[in-house]
Amino acid sequence: MYTTPIRKGRNPIEHQKRSSQGRRAMEELSELERVRREKMQAIREAGMPPFPHRTHRTHTTQQAIAAFEEAGEDEQIMVAIAGRLRSIRKMGKSTFAHVEDEHGKLQIYLRLDELDEDRMKLFNEYVDLGDFVQAEGTMMRTRSGEITLKIADFSMLAKAITPLPAIKEEVVDGETVVHHAFRDPEARYRQRYVDLAVNEEVREIFRSRARIVTAIREFLDERGFLEVETPILQPIYGGAAARPFTTHHNQLHQDLYLRISFELYLKRLLVGGFERVYEIGRDFRNEGVSYKHNPEFTQIEYYIAYADYNDVMELTEQMVGFIAQQTTGSSKIEYQGQRIDLSPPWKRIQLREALMEFADVDIQDHPTVDSLRKLMLERGHEPRQGSSRGQLIESLLVNYVEPKTIQPCFLYDYPRDISPLAKSKVGDPQTVERFEGFVAGFELCNAFTELNDPFDQEQRFLEMGRDYDVEDEECHPMDEDYLQALRYGLPPCGGFGMGVDRLVMLLTDQANIREVILYPHLRSRE
RNA sequence: GCGCCGUUAGCUCAAUUGGCAGAGCAGGGGCCUUUUAAGCCCAAGGUUACAGGUUCGAUUCCUGUACGGCGCACCA
């Protein structure tokens, strides 16, 4: 919203002068901002710097309250707190306000008898909602019972030049009711700092998110997994079916892709001798956005040697149950009004059976694309031209089965042609050992017994349209180095990937992925 | 990418078949020494997202643009 682009050829100092006097000149400021700038000047002239360098804080608001409660009502407890003013009630010769720091609020009480008259005037005339202040005094309890800091002195820590949205809170039967909130989603995402500053429940979502990521690490670290980091800038992208973002390295004259998954780099590490590895990081997919898709999103992938997709299923239900327990206190949660029990074991259904039950189709009766397409057309679907049999099956899964999967479940045994990195089932080359976990009507994770046969893998790549002849720009190149790695020997292994943002949605009861990403992608406003 | 809906004061929202654009909170000036959605009095605050069109007259009707929300599509 407030950017000062530096133009080529302009002296930066000259530019700074111009920007401070230019567009945001006093006459163009809103009344609210003009008044605050004048107050800033006035407080400076009164000898109180509006942006001082040092803070004196002895207690957080919560520590101050705890100290008062421990010491007893008659004890004179001196504290100095720091935080942002979130409410002010002026009553002539006394003033009440709330100071908020990261973990709570404390009421402060300024009273002419206790405070120098000039100081009192300074507060009442020049201090605003949103300012950061430090305040020191003694703890007390008001007539209405609220633990309060009676102020002997205060000073400004950072003057707020732009006013925060006015939020009022009322406590009714122990519940906090918020009046006049800051709710416009666009404004909230574009100025997340304002959203966080005034909406405590938003801060809480991101605390939960941090706990969830910590719990993932705790679960895997305890089981001997090694956390690693692999390239985000990749010359050949792979590991998922998604369009990539492209970029370019100027000095190396090299086109690069932002990764769409970690898979191929992580499995190379198993070739190298690590047996259990994982990565938590960002993937980038150049596709549509929706309530469950952001162009960049956080993924957890792990690979475990000497294991197959059955082992991974067990680990998955244990992991998700553990994370829920650690972060919400229970493996039974409520999501968008539905009660969901994440405790293991989760229901397991073969994909074929699920389609029989929910879509009334036995895919074994339709071994060809044409046969399945004909059936879907009869049912009123219009599959996209050129869809493979596997893609048709996936479309049935997405439309009929996924919305029904409220309680957690695993669908397993997927079509080969949509799973080029998964190992075939013994005796059934058209089906692979792959599963997806579903909860609350959306896909949470995807996993399989990894394909470690270099000859089969090369064949799969060729079927996916990869080519050794990369002279054609349109042609997706063969990942020869990955095949080379497999030729050195990849131990039998299981692999797993899960969208962390979706897990956070589930565990914080949020219906939109943008609510769990601090800075979700939005179009620029020009 | 397609469809539907939305955009009014710093924030949250009004505006009666098309007839001077309003309120609460915040902000400004007063009163008020235990308030807590503090209260009372006064004054102020707007290119109704943007650009066109229809009309004597448009926040309201039409077209387009931008951004957003929801749904669909896309998403090994």
pLDDT of residue A520: 94
Name the residue closest to B73, CA to C1'.
Answer: A288
> Coil, helix or strand for A490?
coil
pLDDT for position A516 = 96
Average pLDDT over residues A291-302: 95
How sure is the predictor about A16, in pLDDT bands with cuts at 50, 70 and 90? very low
C-alpha span between A203 and A509 (Å, rounded): 14
Question: Residue A259 in contact with residue A475, Cβ under 8 Å?
Answer: no
Give the span between the Cα atoms of A224 and A228, in whole angstroms: 13
- CA separation for the pair A433, A176 (Å, rounded): 50
CATH number of A202-346+407-516: 3.30.930.10
Protein-covered nucleotides on strand B (Cβ within 7 A): 1, 10-13, 24-29, 31-39, 44-45, 66-76
The secondary structure of A215-266 as a DSSP string is HHHHHHHHTTPEE----SEESS--SSS-PPPEEEETTTTEEEEE-S-SHHHH
Q: State, as a whole number of angstroms, the distance between the CA of A525 and the C1' of B16.
A: 36
Distance A129 CA to B15 C1' (A): 31
Contacts of A91 (CB under 8 A, 6+ apart): none
- B45 closest protein residue (CA to C1'): A31
Spatial distance from the CA of A144 to the C1' of B6 (Å): 44
What is the ipTM, given to two decimal places?
Answer: 0.93
Q: How far is the CA of A513 from the C1' of B5 (A)?
A: 21
Average pLDDT over residues A342-355: 96
Using C1' positions and the CA of A143, the closest nucleotide is: B34
Q: Which nucleotide is nearest to A264 (CA to C1')?
A: B76
Provide the CA A468 to C1' B45 distance, Å, integer. 68
The predicted pLDDT at position A472 comes to: 60
- Strand nucleotide closest to residue A434 (CA to C1'): B76
Q: Domain A15-164: which topology? A: OB fold (Dihydrolipoamide Acetyltransferase, E2P) (2.40.50)
Per-residue confidence (pLDDT) for residue A266, from 0 to 100 = 98
Q: How high is the mean pLDDT of chain A?
A: 90
What's the Å distance between residue A126 CA and nucleotide B29 C1'? Answer: 15
Find the nucleotide nearest A292 (Cα to C1′): B75
Instruction: Tell how far CA A89 is from the center of its chain.
Output: 37
What is the pLDDT confidence band of residue A526, given thresholds at 50, 70 and 90?
A: low
Give the mean pLDDT of A39-64: 97
- Residue A452: its pLDDT value, please? 97
Nucleotide nearest to A177 (CA to C1'): B37
Residue with tokens 């304002």: A194
- What is the reported pLDDT for A20? 36
Residues 6+ apart with CB under 8 A from A144: none
Same fold flag, A15-164 and A202-346+407-516:
no
Terminal-residue alpha carbon distance, chain A: 10
Task: From the CA of A163 to the C1' of B19: give the distance in Å.
Answer: 37
- Closest nucleotide (CA of A93 to C1')? B33
* Tens digits of residue pLDDT in A93-147: 999 999 999 999 999 999 999 999 999 999 999 999 999 999 999 999 999 999 9
Our measurement of the distance from residue A299's CA atom to the centroid of its chain's CA atoms, rounded to an integer in Å, reads: 10
Q: How far is the CA of A21 from the C1' of B58 (A)?
A: 38
**What residue segments make up the domains of chain A, in order of their start?**
15-164, 202-346+407-516
Helices (H), A251-329: 263-271, 309-328
Contact A450, A267 (CB under 8 A): yes
Average pLDDT over residues A489-510: 96
| DSSP-derived secondary structure for A401-464 | IGGG--S-EEEEEEEGGG-TTBPEETTEEEEEEEEEEEETTEEEEEEEEBP--HHHHHHHHHHT
Please name the residues in contact with A217: beta carbons below 8 A apart, sequence gap of 6 or more. A227, A280
**Closest to A288 measured CA to CA, from A513, A59, A455, A473:** A513
Question: From the C1' of B39, which residue's alpha carbon is nearest?
Answer: A91
Between CA A165 and C1' B72 the distance (Å) reads 35
Separation of alpha carbons A84 and A101, rounded Å: 6
